[in-house]
Amino acid sequence: MINKEVKNAVEACKDIKSGMTIMLGGFGLCGIPENCIQTLVNKEINNLTCISNNAGVDDFGLGLLLQKRQIKKMVSSYVGENDEFERQMLSGELEVDLIPQGSLAERCRAGGAGIPAFFTPAGYGTEVGQGKEVREFNGKPHILETALTADYAIVKAWKGDKAGNLIYKGTARNFNPPMAMAGKITIAEVEELVEPGELNPNEIHTPGIFVQHIFQGEKYEKRIEQRTVIKN
C-alpha cells in the first residue's frame, strides 16, 4: 500500500535549502500552507525564489518570510495587502516579477502538463510583453510565455489520503491544483488525513501521483484579509 505520510511540516520540509525555487498555493490568505510557511521561517534559509499569487500580509503567510529577508525574488500577480512587500519592491531590495493573474495560473498549469511555452494576448503592448516573442493569431498579437516549475511545490488541501490524493474546499482550490502539478517535489498539508480508499474518487482534485509528501496540519488560523460586516 502506498503511504506518503510524514509526521509534520518539519519532516516534510527538511530537504528545502537556501537558493531554491518554491511554489506556494493559496490566494490572499485563503488556502495557504500555514504550517510549512512557519517551518521555512524557523529554518532560517534564505535567497528563496517564491512563486505565489501574492505574499500574504505583513505578519502572516509569506509576509513572515519577507519580514526576515528570506526571499530573494517574488513571482506574483499583485502586491495585495502586504506593505512590507510593497516597500521592499519599491526600494529595490526584492526582485519582483509581476505577471497577469491568468498568465501566472496558466504558466503553472503548463509547467505541470509538460508544456514548455504558450502564446497569450495578455500583456501585449505593456511592460509584461517587453522582449518577448510576438506572433499574430486570428488577427490579434500574442506574446510567448514560458512555463513555470519549482524545486518544491507546497499546497494546502482540505482532505487528503496517505496515497497523496487531495480535495480542496471552496475557494481554497485557487492556485493549489496547478502548483501541485508543477513542483519537482510536492508537499501537501491537509486539515484531515484519511486512509487510501476513503475519499470519493469523483471528488479528488489532485491525484496522488503528483504528491510526494503529505501530513495532517494543525492550528490553522484561516485569517480573513478584509471582513465586511453589516451593522443593524
In a domain, 132, yes or no: no
In a domain, 204, yes or no: yes
Q: 225: pLDDT confidence band, cut at 50, 70 and 90?
A: low
Report which of residues 219 and 186 the model is more confident about: 186
Contacts of 92 (CB under 8 A, 6+ apart): none
In a domain, 73, yes or no: yes
Q: Do 62 and 71 form a contact (C-beta atoms < 8 A)? A: yes
Query: What pLDDT score was predicted for residue 223?
Result: 72
Q: Do 13 and 36 form a contact (C-beta atoms < 8 A)? A: yes
| The C-alpha cell that represents 164 in the structure block | 497523496
Domain count, the chain: 1
Q: Which domain range does residue 162 map to?
A: 9-117+147-216
User: Does the CA dihedral 64-162-195-155 come out positive or negative?
Assistant: positive
Residue 48 in this model has a pLDDT that exceeds 90: yes
CATH value at residue 92: 3.40.1080.10
| The C-alpha cell that represents 64 in the structure block | 513572515
Residue 96 in this model has a pLDDT that exceeds 90: yes
Render pLDDT for 136-171 as a digit per residue (tens, 0 to 9): 999 999 999 999 999 999 999 999 999 999 999 998
Render pLDDT for 2-37 as a digit per residue (tens, 0 to 9): 999 999 999 999 999 999 999 999 988 889 999 999
In a domain, 113, yes or no: yes
Q: Considering the chain, what is the average pLDDT of its residues?
A: 93
In a domain, 127, yes or no: no
In a domain, 173, yes or no: yes
Query: What pLDDT score was predicted for residue 99?
Result: 93
Strands 71-76 and 213-216: unpaired
In a domain, 184, yes or no: yes
In a domain, 55, yes or no: yes
Contacts of 94 (CB under 8 A, 6+ apart): 66, 71, 72, 73, 74, 85, 88
